[in-house]
Amino acid sequence: MDSGDKASKYKGQGSSLLLVLVNALCFSLLQAEPIRVLVTGAAGQIAYSLLYSIAKGDVFGKDQPIILVLLDIPPMLPVLDGVVMELQDCALPLLREVIPTDKVEVGFKDLDAAILVGSMPRKEGMERKDLLKANVAIFKTQGAALDKYAKKTVKVLVVGNPANTNCLIASKSAPSIPKENFSCLTRLDHNRASSQVAMRCGVSSDKVKNVIIWGNHSSTQYPDVHHAKVNVHGSEMAAYDAIKDDAWLRGDFISTVQLRGAAVIKARKLSSAMSAAKAICDHMRDIWFGTKEGEFISMGVYAGGNSYGIPEDLIYSFPVQIKNKTWKVVDGLSINDFSRAKMDATAAELVEERDTALDFLSQ
Ligand SMILES: NC(=O)c1ccc[n+]([C@@H]2O[C@H](COP(=O)([O-])OP(=O)(O)OC[C@H]3O[C@@H](n4cnc5c(N)ncnc54)[C@H](O)[C@@H]3O)[C@@H](O)[C@H]2O)c1
Ligand SMILES: *[C@@H]1O[C@H](CO)[C@@H](O)[C@H](O)[C@H]1NC(C)=O
Ligand SMILES: *[C@@H]1O[C@H](CO)[C@@H](O)[C@H](O)[C@H]1NC(C)=O
Ligand SMILES: *[C@@H]1O[C@H](CO)[C@@H](O)[C@H](O)[C@H]1NC(C)=O
């Protein structure tokens, strides 16, 4: 064997080594690290519609592997096993691992996102105060667990009712995580409002933008279309001009959106689940990837420093825009007397609920 052969042999090894390195680099670039996403109330009906969408990439992106952590209470663990089996049976390539648990130290560990759906439901004959007390206890525990176990950058979405106040309690119980990383779901109300406007105008729902839900996720919420736009046959106009029926907009439209949850329960004998899951996906995807240029969406966020005269230290639904995983309340929208009264009424309800909840929190 002469030296030339030796050289070419080494050259061959070198280039195959290089190939291995390049491959490894490409692989690690293409294969993002999995993110850890928690869903609580994971054995419930909203979760049943939600988990599939998350696991197939609708929320965090089609190239983002996911570890799903499913938390529920001990009696629901057998049901959770069934949910895990079904997720496995979906054969979803992005779903790297599913971890069912009833322990917060497992459930909240190293989270990138937490979707808190589970809460205490109202039982026959239960007083409002007792229900609130039970939920304060749950969200105090879960807030503390976020503080202790989750990443400091975790994005927390509270869905379980009373969503606004539960969210405030969780945030206060997790002082090491920025308040801005907590939000509560009013996107379902937002989507309901958009859809009512779209149906009224005979256009598809993507032709409606910038409806606003102000306040609590309850029948005092204020669905506001004063700043909404509708694209009718290619030309964009104010929702009031497109609809041309102020009486409807100030009457039935508002009450339909406010009472939609109750209407669904009456018809289905179960509360909204498919639409709630869709709204959760919309909300979290917007946090992850941002809102569209020139558009805003509604979510319950910390009211501190808002420019609309809403009492601070509340989680209140505002119009927000999101960029780089950071939301900003849309400032400078004109508010008429009709809107003002409704925004204040829903704020008053939240202040009262917060004060009672804070009493429980300090006990
Ligand atoms: N914000 C919104 O827009 C909106 C919309 C619809 C429903 N909701 C609320 O979402 C919640 C869930 O609705 P659902 O229809 O899925 O209810 P569900 O009763 O079908 O499921 C709730 C699940 O949460 C679990 N759970 C209860 N306490 C828990 C705890 N401490 N930790 C973990 N899990 C716990 C229950 O065991 C159950 O499996 C309800 O509070 C409902 O009012 C909110
Ligand atoms: C606020 O909305 C939640 C969610 O619907 C509801 O449970 C709660 O009772 C409302 N608060 C008050 C004080 O009415
Ligand atoms: C996006 O947010 C991150 C984390 O807060 C920050 O480090 C980064 O500079 C931001 N990027 C832009 C373009 O604002
Ligand atoms: C969450 O907190 C981080 C700082 O840890 C901040 O950069 C980010 O903007 C916050 N996210 C949201 C949605 O506000």
Residue with the bigger pLDDT between 286 and 17: it is 286
Contact present, 34 and 65 (Cβ < 8 Å)? yes
- Tokens for 103, please give them: 């322990």
Q: What are the residue numbers of the active site?
A: 217
User: Which strand (E) or helix (H) includes residue 51?
Assistant: helix 45-55
Span 302-317, mean pLDDT? Answer: 97
What does residue 68 show for φ and ψ, rounded to 5 degrees? -95, 125
pLDDT of 138 > 90? The answer is yes
Residues 219, 204 share a domain: yes
Q: Which of the pair, 285 or 28, is modelled with greater confidence?
A: 285
Same-domain check for residues 178 and 249: no
Token pair 């992850």 is found at 288
Number of domains making up the chain: 2
pTM as predicted? 0.92
118 C-beta closer than 6 A to ligand 1: yes
Residues 151 and 177 in one domain: yes
Give CA 60 to chain center in angstroms.
12
Using the predicted structure, report yes or no on whether residue 19 has a pLDDT greater than 80.
no
Domain that holds residue 272: 187-361
Question: What mean pLDDT do residues 97-106 have?
Answer: 98
The most distant pair of C-alpha atoms in the chain lies apart, rounded to whole Å, by 96
Closest to 314 in 3D by CA, of 278, 274, 357, 273: 357
Same domain, yes or no: 89 and 233: no
Asked whether residue 4 is assigned to any structural domain, the reply reads no
Same domain, 160 and 98: yes
**Mean pLDDT, the chain, integer:** 94
The CATH code of the domain that includes 346 is 3.90.110.10
Same domain, 218 and 175: no
In a domain, 60, yes or no: yes
Query: Is the confidence at residue 4, as pLDDT, over 50?
Result: no
Q: Are residues 52 and 163 in the same domain?
A: yes
Q: What is the pLDDT of residue 25?
A: 57
Is the same domain home to 40 and 177? yes
Residues with CB under 6 A from ligand 2: 161-163, 216-218, 349, 352-353
Final residue in a domain of this structure, among 145, 163, 184: 184
Residues 188 and 172: their CA atoms lie apart, in Å, by: 25
Cα distance between residue 215 and residue 347, in whole Å: 6
Q: How far is the CA of 305 from the centre of ligand 4 (A)?
A: 16
Place of tokens 């229900």: 131
**Is residue 41 located within the same domain as residue 92?**
yes
